[in-house]
C-alpha cells in the first residue's frame, strides 16, 4: 500500500484489508478508496471510523460475497481495534458512476460488525460519491474522478435535506445515540457541515465547516460548536442545545 494515513495501526489494517480484497477479487478489482474523515482530513483517533469503498468490475456473486464475509470476519477477530472500526462498501463500477434508485443495494460491512450484508445505499451515498470523487484517496486503482460523475450541488442539497428530515429527526431515529458524548460532538459538527453544504453546495471537513459556522451563524451556537470541536469526555456539548441545534438546522434547510 503506497499511501500512509499517518497512523501506523490504521495503515496496517488497511494493508490487510487491501490484501484480502485483492486476494478475493483478483483481476475483477477496479479500485479501493478511502472515504469519510480519512479522505477529508478530519480523522480523529478517539472517534472516527475507517470508511472504505471497494469497486469491483461487476456485481458480486453470492460465492464471492461469502468469501469476502469470511475475510472480514477473520480481520475483525484480529488484535487491532481498527479492524472493528471499518465501514466498507462494495459498489460495482457501473453502479458507482451515478446514483440509480433501481440499483442501490450493495454489500457492505458496518462499524462494529463482522457481518457482510447487502443494504440500500440511499441519499447519503450522493454525499459519499461527492467526497470520494473530490477528496477520495486511492489505495489501489485509477483516480476516482474517472469512475464517478460530478455530483450536482442541487443533488447534494437534496441529500442533506433528506437526511435532516429522516435520520436526524430527534425522535425516534437518532435520539438514543445522543447520550453518547462523542456522538453528540459528531452530531453538532455534522450539522455544521450540512449547513455549509446547504449554503455552498459542496462538502468540506467538519472542522472547516465548524469554523465557518462559528463566523456565519448566530453567536448562541458558538459554545456548543466549540465543545463539539474538543472531542472530549470532559467537554461535552449540552444535550438540550444539541437537540435545538439539530432542529434549527432542519428549520434553516426549509428556508
Give the C-alpha separation, 197 to 140, whole Å.
29
Collect the ranges in the chain with pLDDT lower than 70.
Answer: 1-2, 172
Domain presence at residue 238: yes
CA–CA distance from 183 to each of 40, 62, 71, 134, 249 (Å)? Answer: 19, 35, 29, 26, 17
Domain presence at residue 2: no
- The size of the chain, in residues, is 255
pLDDT value at position 1?
62
User: What's this model's pTM, rounded to 2 decimal places?
Assistant: 0.91
What CATH code is carried by the domain that includes residue 60?
3.30.300
User: Dihedrals φ, ψ of 32, to 5°?
Assistant: -135, 130
pLDDT value at position 164?
92
Domain end position, chosen among 98, 119, 149: 149
pLDDT value at position 172?
67
Give the C-alpha separation, 18 to 173, whole Å.
34
Domain enclosing residue 222, as ranges: 154-254
**Buried b / exposed e across 174-201, counting CB within 10 Å, b at 16+?**
beeebeebbbbbbbbbbbbbbbbbbeee
Domain count, the chain: 2
Domain end position, chosen among 100, 126, 149: 149
Same domain? For 65 and 173 the reply is no
Same domain? For 200 and 246 the reply is yes
Domain end position, chosen among 97, 131, 149: 149
Same domain? For 124 and 164 the reply is no
Domain presence at residue 1: no
Same domain? For 184 and 110 the reply is no
Same domain? For 139 and 166 the reply is no
How remote is the C-alpha of 78 from its chain's centroid?
23
Amino acid at each position: 500500500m503506497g499511501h500512509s494515513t499517518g497512523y501506523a495501526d490504521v495503515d496496517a489494517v488497511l494493508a490487510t484489508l487491501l490484501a484480502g480484497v485483492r486476494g478475493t477479487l483478483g483481476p475483477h478489482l477496479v479500485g479501493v478508496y478511502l472515504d469519510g474523515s480519512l479522505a477529508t482530513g478530519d480523522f480523529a483517533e478517539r472517534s472516527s471510523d475507517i470508511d472504505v469503498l471497494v469497486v469491483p468490475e461487476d456485481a458480486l456473486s453470492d460465492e464471492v460475497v461469502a468469501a469476502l464475509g469470511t475475510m472480514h470476519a477473520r480481520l475483525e477477530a484480529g488484535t487491532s481495534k481498527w479492524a472493528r472500526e471499518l465501514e466498507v462498501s462494495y459498489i460495482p463500477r457501473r453502479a458507482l458512476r451515478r446514483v440509480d434508485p433501481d440499483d442501490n443495494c450493495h454489500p457492505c460491512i458496518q462499524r462494529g460488525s463482522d457481518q457482510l450484508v447487502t443494504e440500500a445505499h440511499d441519499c447519503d451515498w450522493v454525499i459519499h460519491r461527492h467526497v470520494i470523487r473530490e477528496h477520495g484517496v486511492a489505495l489501489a486503482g485509477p483516480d476516482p474522478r474517472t469512475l464517478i460523475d460530478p455530483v450536482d450541488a442541487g443533488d447534494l442539497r437534496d441529500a442533506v435535506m433528506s437526511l435532516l428530515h429522516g435520520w436526524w429527526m430527534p425522535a425516534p431515529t437518532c435520539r438514543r445515540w445522543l447520550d453518547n458524548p462523542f456522538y453528540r460532538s459528531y452530531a453538532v459538527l455534522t450539522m455544521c457541515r450540512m449547513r455549509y453544504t446547504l449554503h455552498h453546495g459542496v462538502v468540506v471537513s467538519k472542522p472547516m465547516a465548524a469554523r465557518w459556522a462559528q463566523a456565519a451563524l448566530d453567536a448562541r451556537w458558538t459554545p456548543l460548536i466549540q465543545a463539539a470541536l474538543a472531542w472530549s469526555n470532559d467537554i461535552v456539548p449540552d444535550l438540550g442545545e444539541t437537540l435545538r441545534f439539530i432542529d434549527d438546522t432542519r428549520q434553516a434547510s426549509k428556508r
